[in-house]
Structure 1
Amino acid sequence: MLIQWFPGHMTKTKRMIEAHLKAVDVVAELLDARIPASSANPMVDELVQGKPRIVILNKADLADPKETDKWVSYYRRRDIPVVPMSVGNAKNKKKLLALIRETAAPVLAKWQRRGLKARSVRIMILGIPNVGKSSLINFLAGTAAARTANTPGHTRGKQWVRLSEGLDLLDTPGVLWPKFDDQTAALRLAATGAIAGDVFNPDEVVPVLLSSLAETAPQVLKEVYRIEDVHQDPQLLLEAAGRRRGCLLPGGAIDYDRAETVVLRDFRSGRLGRITLDPLPSEDRHENS
Structure 2
Amino acid sequence: MDYQWYPGHMTRARRQMQEDVRLVDLVIELTDARAPLSGRNPDIDSLAAGKSRILVLNKSDLADPEQNKAWTAFFRKDGLVACEVNARSGNGIRQIRPMIAEACREKIERDRSRGIMNRPLRAMIAGIPNVGKSTFINSFAGKASAKTGNKPGVTRGRQWISVERTLQLLDTPGILWPRFDDRQVGIRLAEIGCIRDEILDAQELACELISWMRAAYPQVLSERYGISPDGTAFEVLGRIAEARRCLKAGGEPDCGKAAALLLDEFRSGRLGRMTLEKAPD
Q: TM-score, normalised by structure 1?
A: 0.85
Instruction: Report how far residue 9 of structure 1 moved.
Output: 4.3
- AA aligned opposite 1:191: E
Query: What are the Cα deviations for residues 7-46 of structure 1, in whole angstroms up to 9, with x where unaligned?
Result: 7544433321121111111101111111112211111111
CA contact (8 A) 1:140 1:164 kept: no
Which sits farther off after the overlay, 75-84 or 86-95? 86-95
1:35 touches 1:277 (CA, 8 Å); kept in 2? Answer: yes
2:30 aligned partner, one-letter code: L
- How does 1:145-160 map onto structure 2 within 5 Å? 145=145, 160=160
Pairwise CA distance, 1:180: 2.5
Determine whether 1:273 maps to 2:272: yes
- Mapping for residues 29-178 of structure 1, pairs under 5 Å: 29-145=29-145, 160-171=160-171, 173-178=172-177
Matched letter for residue 234 of structure 2: Q
Q: Secondary structure at the match of 2:56?
A: strand
One-letter code aligned to 1:267: F
Matches of 2:62 and 2:190 in 1, distance apart? 16
Would the alpha carbon gap of residues 164 and 63 (structure 1) be closer, same or farther in structure 2, given more than 3 Å must change? farther
Q: Shift in Å at residue 222 of structure 1?
A: 2.1
1:159-238 to 2 correspondences below 5 Å: 160-171=160-171, 173-178=172-177, 179-228=179-228, 230=229, 232-238=231-237
User: How far off its partner does 1:247 sit?
Assistant: 1.5
Contact 1:145 1:162 in 2 (8 A): no
The 2-side partners of 1:62 and 1:216 are apart by: 15
- Whether contact under 8 Å (2:3, 2:190) holds in the other structure is no
2-side partners of 1:110 and 1:11: how far apart? Answer: 35
Q: For residue 197 of structure 2, give the secondary structure of its aligned residue in structure 1.
A: coil
Structure 1 contact 125–174 (Cα < 8 Å) conserved: no
Change (3 A) 1:174 1:159: closer
Give the counterpart letter for 1:127 in structure 2: G
CA–CA distance in structure 2, aligned partners of residues 182 and 65 of structure 1 = 26
Do residues 247 (structure 1) and 243 (structure 2) align? no
CA distance in 2, matches of 1:111, 1:231: 64
Matched to 1:12, the amino acid is R
- Give the root-mean-square deviation of aligned CA atoms: 2.1
> 1:34–1:276: 8 Å Cα contact kept in structure 2?
yes
In structure 2, runs of 5+ residues without a counterpart are 147-157
Say if 1:8 and 1:255 are closer, same or farther in 2 by CA, change over 3 A.
closer
TM-score (ref. length: structure 2): 0.88
CA contact (8 A) 1:221 1:227 kept: yes
SS of residue paired to 2:27? strand
| Corresponding residue SS for 1:222 | helix
Cα distance between partner residues in 2 of 1:244 and 1:50: 54
Deviates more, 1:135-144 or 1:245-254: 245-254
- Give the count of matched residue pairs: 269
Change (3 A) 1:181 1:104: same
- Work out the CA distance in 1 between the residues paired with 2:15 and 2:90: 35
Q: Percent identity at matched positions? A: 38
